[in-house]
Structure 1
Amino acid sequence: MACPVRRNDGTQDADQLGDETGMLYGEYLMLDKVLGAQRLLSEQNNKPVHDEHLFIVTHQAYELWFKQIIFELDSVRNIFSEVLEESQTLEILKRLNRIVLILKVLVDQVMILETMTPLDFMDFRNYLKPASGFQSLQFRLLENKLGLKTENRVKSNMNYAKVFGSDEEALNRIELSESQPSLALLVERWLERTPGLEVEGFNFWGKYEKAVNMLLEEQKQIALNEPNESVKRYRLNDLENRREVYESIFQPEIHQALLNRGERRFSHKALQGAILVTFYRDEPRFSQPHQILNLLMDIDSLITKWRYNHVLMVQRMIGSSQLGTGGSSGYQYLRATLSDRYKVFVDLFNLSTFLIPRSHIPKLTSDVRSKLWHR
């Protein structure tokens, strides 16, 4: 966007504007409000602290980017909420990739805050109380819309009722974000419809189980022929462990038990679909779905990296024992959010557990390829 700034001498840009109607750059972006929104409490207390300005601008930038992520996320959820047409997957890819790039900016943005030393932060930290990042409504909405469930959150002395108790609109928005289908749920439903899972069709799952059993039997024979007894025992034990891992996906009741314990998130049918897409990602029909799964993992990874960088920064600024300005346990609470329970798409990260060599992947017949292509 061109910047139509009028020069003091009135000889160049002003002439180019002519009599055109419309808004100028600053008016269009409402810069008077945006650039005037930095209120330094240290200045109001007649003790101006230089780095408070950086702290405010950085967090305002975070909130603006959160707003854009939510905007993109809502649009992706709207597309997924209907039966997805193949022509729409390119738009999903574009918008998910945009979210990924924004998150990369947010991860790197922590480094700018780290130019502030702990003593610099201490000069104005008391002015922040009781403000806290826990009170970021947009970040909570983002987590809910992605699919982070309440039962997977770390228990804390802070809660929505306490933080937003007097803000009825905020509580309503949180409740709505928890009641509407999350991206994780919509992706799960989409994967459950993966073509090729039908028993009366290609029956990928039956062929895959047969291929796994064949592979394990081949490796068992190799292990039994091992002359070194200790190596033989090691290989046989490893094979038994791997067999149990595969059984956890071939036996629906075992998968359900893992779901109940929170160790898995997708339904059994959705996990089957994700494995099928991963195996046949080079097929035209599954190329873009595979890219979507990768971008979902990128989103999870980058949010985890952002949490990690934030935890390190907090430890650097206030140590491991001080309470947060909002009353949380500070570093200890934030460190607890780094576990897999905060990964929305943890099942996608674990797909590699169930891979088999390309030579054992069931081959698609020309008839099956034709049906997949014309669906």
Structure 2
Amino acid sequence: MSCPYSSASILTNGDNAQKGEVLGAETGMLYGDYLMLEKIINAQRMQSAESNRPVHDEHLFIITHQAYELWFKQIIFEVDSIRDLFNVYAVDESRTLEILKRLNRIAIILKLLVDHIPILETMTPLDFMDFRDYLSPASGFQSLQFRLMENKLGVKQENRVKYNQRYQDVFGGDSNAVDLIIKSETEPSLCDLVQKWLERTPGLEEDGFNFWQKFQKNVNDLLNEDENKAKALTDEFLRNYRLMDVNKRRDVYHTIFNQDAHEALVSRGERKFSYKAMQGAIMITLYRDEPRFSQPHQVLTCLMDIDSFMTKWRYSHVMMVQRMIGSQQLGTGGSSGYQYLRSTLSDRYKVFLDLFNLSTFLIPRQNIPPLTDEMIDQLYTHRKSS
């Protein structure tokens, strides 16, 4: 599409054309028609104006939230396309760059949504109070697209704060909305598909390079070496401190080397990834300088960016709500307002929580298991089987 402000979309006048003639009319459609601007620009219905008490800032409130919903729609569009690319037995490596581009786009859009908050904050609490009663019982909790976006990314129902779980009540008996939410909860989320992808990381196979076995041995060797150094210290306080540190690190590594310990953390919501997916994520992180793992590592980084901006948006939104209505008043939809929103800042809402914690399990470069010749051949000469 050409620039919307090019000559093809501008009505001309003067000697060059009669009034109403369109340059580039062969395109067959005007800028406003293509974007359906008449519908969009006239979609702001101020309840205060309809009640003959127009409140100036209600217009800003409506515009901002409509912009949010349009961006939510774009995020959902991108997430669905990325899920399609991941939802195959073996992800086509030639599409990794496209996945990266779309993930990065989502992250940038979310950053933009965070930047919308200061615009809303140009409205004072008294300004908001002038029209707040017109909103009830409408609430941001009723944003179907935000709920779909969370579900499609991978926020699980069991990790949500328990508030108004009856969708029929929240969405006013809209059966289509309820069906869409249920579908988004049952189909594979982006998080689910990323885990399946990580589980197929080359080098995890026990009959091949067997990275996990080599990694575990090197970690144990490193901890034993640190323990021996600590025992050799003559200062009793320092010796005990270093030994305590080594034991704590052993306990931490035990949670990834022992599958039962890992799954216990998953059951408590402290981890999200499967045991095998954690192995793949750690391997990609350690060998990210290898060309085959460079783009997968960038994918993991983009996923963390998305989670980070979602968390920043939640936090900024919570602070804005507290500023506008305080911490005691109910939200417009009957929720506890600030108290409810603050509870959504916990790690239970982080979809890719485990990626943030990968640095816990890193080891010095010199202790990373070296690649075997066979593994190097697999990384650099691998071809898809027929």
Map Cα deviations across residues 170-193 of structure 1 (whole Å, 9 max, x no partner). 001001111111001001111010
1:244 aligns with 2:246: no
Q: Compute the displacement of 1:221 (Å).
A: 1.6
**Unaligned 5+ residue runs, structure 1?**
none
User: Which residue, out of 42, 55, 60, partners 1:54?
Assistant: 60
1:230 aligns with 2:232: no
Do the aligned residues in 1 keep the contact of 2:10 with 2:23 (CA within 8 Å)? no
- What does residue 310 of structure 1 align with? 317
Do the aligned residues in 1 keep the contact of 2:10 with 2:22 (CA within 8 Å)? no
- What does residue 286 of structure 2 align with? 279
Please tell me the residue identity of whatever aligns with 2:10.
Answer: V
SS at match of 1:124: helix
Do the aligned residues in 2 keep the contact of 1:5 with 1:14 (CA within 8 Å)? no
Number of residue pairs aligned between Structure 1 and Structure 2 = 375
- What does residue 200 of structure 1 align with? 207
Q: Following the alignment from structure 2 to structure 1, what is the Cα–Cα distance between the partners of residues 175 and 22?
A: 49
Q: Following the alignment from structure 2 to structure 1, what is the Cα–Cα distance between the partners of residues 254 and 27?
A: 69
- What does residue 264 of structure 1 align with? 271
Do the aligned residues in 1 keep the contact of 2:330 with 2:336 (CA within 8 Å)? yes
User: Which residue, out of 251, 262, 270, partners 1:255?
Assistant: 262
Do the aligned residues in 2 keep the contact of 1:158 with 1:327 (CA within 8 Å)? no
Map Cα deviations across residues 312-339 of structure 1 (whole Å, 9 max, x no partner). 0000000000000000000000000000
User: Which residue, out of 351, 365, 369, partners 1:358?
Assistant: 365
Q: Following the alignment from structure 1 to structure 2, what is the Cα–Cα distance between the partners of residues 336 and 130?
A: 21
SS at match of 1:161: helix
Range moving further from structure 2, 254-263 or 365-374: 365-374
Q: Following the alignment from structure 1 to structure 2, what is the Cα–Cα distance between the partners of residues 247 and 234?
A: 20
Moved runs in structure 1, 4+ residues, more than 3 A?
A: 7-16
- What does residue 5 of structure 1 align with? 10
Range moving further from structure 2, 356-365 or 52-61: 356-365
- Cα 1:39/1:215, change in 2 over 3 Å: same
Scaled by the length of structure 1, the TM-score of the pair is: 0.97
Q: Following the alignment from structure 2 to structure 1, what is the Cα–Cα distance between the partners of residues 59 and 172?
A: 29
Q: Following the alignment from structure 1 to structure 2, what is the Cα–Cα distance between the partners of residues 144 and 26?
A: 34
Do the aligned residues in 2 keep the contact of 1:165 with 1:171 (CA within 8 Å)? no
Map Cα deviations across residues 12-36 of structure 1 (whole Å, 9 max, x no partner). 7966616525110000000000000
Q: 1:92-107, aligned counterparts within 5 Å? A: 92-107=99-114
Do the aligned residues in 1 keep the contact of 2:168 with 2:174 (CA within 8 Å)? no
Please tell me the residue identity of whatever aligns with 2:138.
Answer: A
Q: Following the alignment from structure 1 to structure 2, what is the Cα–Cα distance between the partners of residues 277 and 307?
A: 30
Map Cα deviations across residues 157-206 of structure 1 (whole Å, 9 max, x no partner). 46423202410000010011111110010011110100000111111111
Q: Compute the displacement of 1:66 (Å).
A: 0.2
- Cα 1:52/1:363, change in 2 over 3 Å: same
- What does residue 37 of structure 2 align with? 31
Please tell me the residue identity of whatever aligns with 2:128.
Answer: F
The alignment-based identity, stated in percent, is: 65
Q: Following the alignment from structure 1 to structure 2, what is the Cα–Cα distance between the partners of residues 70 and 248?
A: 34
1:188 aligns with 2:205: no
Q: Following the alignment from structure 1 to structure 2, what is the Cα–Cα distance between the partners of residues 294 and 281?
A: 11
Q: Following the alignment from structure 2 to structure 1, what is the Cα–Cα distance between the partners of residues 66 and 114?
A: 15
- Cα 1:164/1:89, change in 2 over 3 Å: same
Do the aligned residues in 1 keep the contact of 2:168 with 2:175 (CA within 8 Å)? no
Q: Following the alignment from structure 2 to structure 1, what is the Cα–Cα distance between the partners of residues 316 and 22?
A: 47
Alpha-carbon RMSD across the aligned residues, in angstroms, is 1.5
